[in-house]
Amino acid sequence: MKTNPFDRTASGACAAALLAAVLALPAVSAAAADTGYAIGTRLSQAQQAALGGAREVQIGGQAYRVLPDTDSKPRTLSSGASAAEATSLVVNARGVVGESRNEVLVSRVPVQAVQQAVGQLGIRAVSVQYYDHIAISSLRFASFEDTAAARERLKSLLPADAGVDVPVRYSKSTVR
């Protein structure tokens, strides 16, 4: 049986979301290139020391420093980008540059429980997508700091077995 990737039914929603993510990758990678930091590169000790003023954000047991862009502003919205397209460049404890879409992924918990928790967050998400058929929710925020704070709050509001993660990408996707 053939499936239409643009079908908006339960199985088509995943395909449409995947297609949208793949089409957005060149724009996200181009935005990262504008700052002078390449995703996946390890910064030297001198480069890390030069980031002394970068804000540090804790997510779980991991510490990340949010890289400023060339204008010394937090990397969130680039000109012409919507809030749902905001990204942040971060450096992990090993000095490797990564990119976050300022997204919290929630899994292993019913969508209704996530919807109730989102109402109690106190932090406004710029984009929320619920995939009820696979029990996954995606929440996007305007900044990496908001993302980290929302993750911590969701961890306290949802059951202990819920997966609440902030994906950080350390390599560029390539088309084969």
Edge to edge, what strands does the sheet with 62-66 contain? Answer: 55-59, 62-66, 88-91, 97-100, 168-169
Tens digit of each residue's pLDDT (9 = 90 or more) over 34-67: 457 899 999 999 998 888 888 899 999 999 999 9
Rounded mean pLDDT, 152-160: 96
SS3 call for 31: helix
Tens digit of each residue's pLDDT (9 = 90 or more) over 77-125: 444 455 567 899 999 999 999 999 999 999 999 999 999 999 999 999 9
| Residues forming a β-bridge with 65 | 56, 91
> Domains plus CATH for the chain?
37-100 (no CATH), 103-169 (3.30.70.330)
Cα maximum dimension of the chain: 57
Query: What gap in Å lies between CA 152 and CA 147, rounded to an integer?
Result: 9
Classify residue 133 by its DSSP letter.
G
Residue 158 confidence (pLDDT) above 50 = yes
Query: What gap in Å lies between CA 51 and CA 54, rounded to an integer?
Result: 5
Query: What gap in Å lies between CA 20 and CA 13, rounded to an integer?
Result: 10
First to last CA, the chain: 26
CB 105 within 8 A of CB 167: yes
Q: From residue 124, how far is each of 34, 56, 79, 149, 160 by CA, in Å?
A: 28, 21, 21, 11, 23
Query: What gap in Å lies between CA 172 and CA 65, rounded to an integer?
Result: 20
pLDDT at residue 69, rounded to an integer: 63
∠ Cα 165 135 175 (to 5°): 65
